[in-house]
């Protein structure tokens, strides 16, 4: 499951939009939830039921705003994640305005939703590369990954930067001859190497990505001391804004601190037995 939190504008007001991608025996699906940006606990729509159809539209109300969600996953390509890689779109329309557009089929999304557009993006081409007047922003991304010792994903740490390959690898096991250690690589370059992991099961380190500092935090306690189905590790990558010292930040705190800007990636790593 992958969950992304965006800030978008609905009826002239900033809102927090949660998009959750999921996968089961029925296939791939997504759900949508909207909360008040200034008071995350105030407005709260009921999450839409997971939308399993490959193409469709749902509408609902979020406060005073009428919202439509259009999607087309019929040609989508996927990697190991339930979130599509290419050949798809998800378009959110509020009061006939396009407020959030995901995927790479921009023109198809605009034609299908019949949304009103502001000025097209500078340099837009025949592919229909548009953006809404209020540019939505990805605040944080949370995903669950599974593996025995190696976990991988892709992420973009700023809107103008490229997507990076992130690989997390844990060597050795508790009670074995090999002392457990942790390696984190970004685009095949090692950025974090933690030895004596049984003693350093929680920690943080600042790394550079695209020339900018990123706080990388890890908590692998449950891998070693709470084994079994409920044991997972948590890794957080967050751009260095003004969130204070390097420390764990809860999801609620990340929601409430969205006005500071920045982006956070949370990875829940589950060990396959």
Per DSSP, what are the bridge partners of residue 164? 155
What residue segments make up the domains of the chain, in order of their start? 2-135, 142-271
Interval 167-186: pLDDT, tens: 999 987 766 667 899 999 99
Q: Note the pLDDT of residue 76.
A: 94
Q: Which residues of 2-17 are buried (b: 16+ CB within 10 A; e: fewer)?
A: bbbbbbbbbeebbbbb
- At CA 125, angle to CA 119 and CA 126, rounded to 5? 110
Nearest to 172 by CA among 149, 147, 191: 149
Q: Note the pLDDT of residue 233.
A: 94
Q: Note the pLDDT of residue 42.
A: 46
Q: Are 3 and 30 in contact (CB under 8 A)?
A: no
DSSP 257: T
Q: Note the pLDDT of residue 247.
A: 54
Residue 260 pLDDT level (bands cut at 50, 70, 90): low
Q: Are 258 and 16 in contact (CB under 8 A)?
A: yes
* pLDDT over 80 at 121, yes or no: no
Three-state DSSP at 259 gives helix
- The residue whose two tokens read 């592919």 is 127
Interval 59-99: pLDDT, tens: 888 878 889 999 999 999 998 889 999 999 999 999 888 99
């Amino acid at each position: 499951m992958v969950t992304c939190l965006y800030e978008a504008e609905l009826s002239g007001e900033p809102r927090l939009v949660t998009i959750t991608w999921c996968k089961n025996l029925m296939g791939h699906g997504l759900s949508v939830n909207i909360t008040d940006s200034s008071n995350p606990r105030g407005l709260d729509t009921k999450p839409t039921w997971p939308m399993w159809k490959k193409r469709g539209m749902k509408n609902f109300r979020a406060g005073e705003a009428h919202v439509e969600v259009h999607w087309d996953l019929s040609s989508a390509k996927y990697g190991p994640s339930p979130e599509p890689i290419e050949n798809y779109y998800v378009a959110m329309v509020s009061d006939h305005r396009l407020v959030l557009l995901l995927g790479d089929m921009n023109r198809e999304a605009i034609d299908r939703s019949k949304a009103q557009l502001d000025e097209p993006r500078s340099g837009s081409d025949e592919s229909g590369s548009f953006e809404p007047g209020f540019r939505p922003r990805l605040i944080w991304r949370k995903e669950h990954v599974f593996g025995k010792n190696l976990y991988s994903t892709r992420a973009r740490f700023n809107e103008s930067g490229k997507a990076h390959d992130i690989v997390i690898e844990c060597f050795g096991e508790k009670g074995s001859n090999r002392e457990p250690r942790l390696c984190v690589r970004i685009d095949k370059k090692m950025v974090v190497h933690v030895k004596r992991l049984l003693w350093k099961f929680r920690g943080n380190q600042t790394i550079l990505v695209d020339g900018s500092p990123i706080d990388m935090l890890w908590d692998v306690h449950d891998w070693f001391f709470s084994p079994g189905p409920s044991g997972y590790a948590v890794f957080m990558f967050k751009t260095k804004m003004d969130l204070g010292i390097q420390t764990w930040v809860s999801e609620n705190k990340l929601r409430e601190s969205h006005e500071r800007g920045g982006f956070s990636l949370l990875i829940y790593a589950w060990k396959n037995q």
